[in-house]
């Protein structure tokens, strides 16, 4: 059985067909949620925010078209892929479904293999575009949008359950000088090399992101301040001991300044916590530049 992380809602009022689809998807490793009518489907979708919806058009209370219209009005649900199921094969029905933003349209009866193939094709595209949207194209680490999303989640979990975590805010020292002296291509190589060092020296659970320009931000899950400072020191020393290759001249040495903050109940917002890491980074920069 293949293992999938994706959640799928099956909204179908025919119990036999609903069960048939559910069992087949569960056999493939998908996490499946069932709804018997349109209103129930809408409530379920808003609750779990699935990765894909299989939506019968003809259902009680709300039909599939009405459910899709409601989803399209909400930011959290407007982009969830939808496959419409229907017993009708009229062109006007297909055009209406696709015009509402459906990703696919399958007419009953259908082959289970066809449904699975279409689901996998849609989810494959979804994974690809989500991956592109989450990562910085130059360095390959996460981007600031993903960092902010994860930072919010970690902060909320810390507030609610007392989970520990820390953040590092990092700036490359004299980066403007590097760009001006060696060129932007070398500057790009410096950022790529530092990102690689971070991935090598930090833990798999740590979330590394390029915050912007020559700045990086890192989330350290389940990490108290003392351990975060150890990781920061290890990172600083690894960068300082690495010579960055340069096509135009001899390899160049670079250094970074790091500010650290660990979660505390004294922080009213995540912005307060980030401001501490930002302030500490600038203190480091002013005192030693490394």
pLDDT tens digits, residue range 204-255? 999 999 999 999 999 999 999 999 999 999 999 999 999 988 776 788 999 9
Determine contact, residues 165/262, Cβ cutoff 8 Å: yes
C-alpha to C-alpha distance for 214 and 89, rounded to whole angstroms:
55
DSSP type of residue 242: P
pLDDT at res. 100: 80
Beta partners for 43? none
The yes-or-no verdict on residue 56 having pLDDT over 70 is: yes
Which of 93-97, 175-179, 203-207 has the weakest average pLDDT?
A: 93-97
| pLDDT one-digit tens code per residue, 19-47 | 999 999 999 999 999 999 999 999 999 99
Confidence of residue 289 (pLDDT cuts 50, 70, 90): low
DSSP states along 120-149: HHHHHHHHHHHHHHHB-TTT-SB-HHHHHH
Where does residue 143 fall: left (phi above 0), alpha (psi -120 to 50 degrees), or beta otherwise? beta
C-alpha to C-alpha distance for 106 and 88, rounded to whole angstroms:
9
> Catalytic residue numbers?
214
Torsion of CA 194, 143, 268, 262, to 10 degrees: -30
CA atoms within 13 A on the CB side of 178: 23
C-alpha to C-alpha distance for 32 and 240, rounded to whole angstroms:
49
Q: What are phi and psi of 70, to 5 degrees?
A: -65, -40
Mutual angle of helices 112-134 and 15-27, in 10-degree steps: 60
Average the pLDDT over 37-66 and give the result.
Answer: 92
pLDDT at res. 3: 56
The yes-or-no verdict on residue 2 having pLDDT over 60 is: no
Task: Write the burial class of residue 120 (CB in 10 Å: 0-12 exposed, 13-18 middle, 19+ buried).
Answer: middle
The yes-or-no verdict on residue 4 having pLDDT over 80 is: no
Average the pLDDT over 270-286 and give the result.
Answer: 95
Task: Write the burial class of residue 92 (CB in 10 Å: 0-12 exposed, 13-18 middle, 19+ buried).
Answer: exposed
Instruction: Kindly report whether the global pTM for this prediction surpasses the value 0.85.
Output: no
pLDDT at res. 290: 65
Average the pLDDT over 135-142 and give the result.
Answer: 95
The yes-or-no verdict on residue 99 having pLDDT over 80 is: no
Verify cis geometry, omega within 30 degrees of 0, for the bond prior to 109. yes
Question: Which tokens belong to 182?
Answer: 């060696």
DSSP three-state, residue 163: coil
Average the pLDDT over 160-185 and give the result.
Answer: 93
pLDDT at res. 259: 97
Mean pLDDT of the chain: 91
Confidence of residue 179 (pLDDT cuts 50, 70, 90): very high
Determine contact, residues 14/37, Cβ cutoff 8 Å: no
Distance of CA 75 to the CA centre of its chain: 16
Q: What structural domains does the chain harbor?
A: 7-134 (3.40.50.2300), 144-287 (3.30.70.270)
The yes-or-no verdict on residue 86 having pLDDT over 90 is: no
Average the pLDDT over 157-169 and give the result.
Answer: 92
Average the pLDDT over 3-32 and give the result.
Answer: 91
Pick from 195, 200, 178, 194: nearest CA to 248: 178
DSSP three-state, residue 243: strand
Mutual angle of helices 64-72 and 38-48, in 10-degree steps: 30
C-alpha to C-alpha distance for 101 and 83, rounded to whole angstroms:
10
DSSP three-state, residue 84: strand
Distance of CA 145 to the CA centre of its chain: 9
Average the pLDDT over 34-61 and give the result.
Answer: 93
């Amino acid at each position: 059985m293949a293992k999938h992380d994706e959640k799928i809602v099956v909204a179908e009022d025919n119990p036999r067909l609903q069960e048939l689809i559910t069992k087949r998807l569960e056999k493939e490793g998908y996490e499946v949620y069932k709804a018997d009518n349109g209103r129930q489907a809408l409530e379920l979708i808003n609750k779990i925010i699935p990765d894909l919806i299989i939506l019968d058009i003809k259902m009680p209370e709300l039909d599939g078209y009405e459910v899709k219209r409601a989803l399209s009005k909400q930011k959290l649900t407007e982009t969830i892929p939808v496959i419409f199921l229907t017993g009708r094969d009229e062109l006007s029905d297909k055009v209406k479904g696709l015009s509402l933003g459906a990703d696919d349209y399958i007419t009953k009866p259908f082959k289970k293999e066809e449904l699975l193939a279409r689901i996998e094709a849609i989810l494959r595209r979804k994974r690809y575009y989500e991956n592109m949207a989450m990562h910085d194209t130059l360095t390959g680490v996460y981007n600031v949008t993903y960092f902010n999303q994860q930072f919010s989640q970690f902060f909320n979990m810390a507030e609610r359950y007392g989970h520990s975590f820390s953040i590092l805010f990092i700036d490359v020292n004299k980066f403007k000088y590097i760009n001006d002296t060696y060129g932007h291509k070398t500057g790009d190589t410096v950022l790529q090399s530092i990102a690689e060092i971070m991935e090598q020296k930090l833990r798999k659970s740590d979330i590394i992101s390029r915050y912007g320009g020559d700045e990086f931000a890192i989330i350290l899950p389940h990490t108290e301040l003392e351990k975060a400072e150890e990781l920061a020191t290890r990172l600083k020393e690894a960068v300082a001991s690495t010579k960055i290759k340069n096509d135009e001249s001899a390899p160049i040495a670079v250094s970074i300044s790091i500010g650290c903050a660990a979660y505390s109940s004294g922080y009213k917002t995540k912005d307060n916590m980030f401001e501490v890491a930002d302030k500490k980074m600038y203190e480091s920069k002013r005192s030693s530049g490394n």
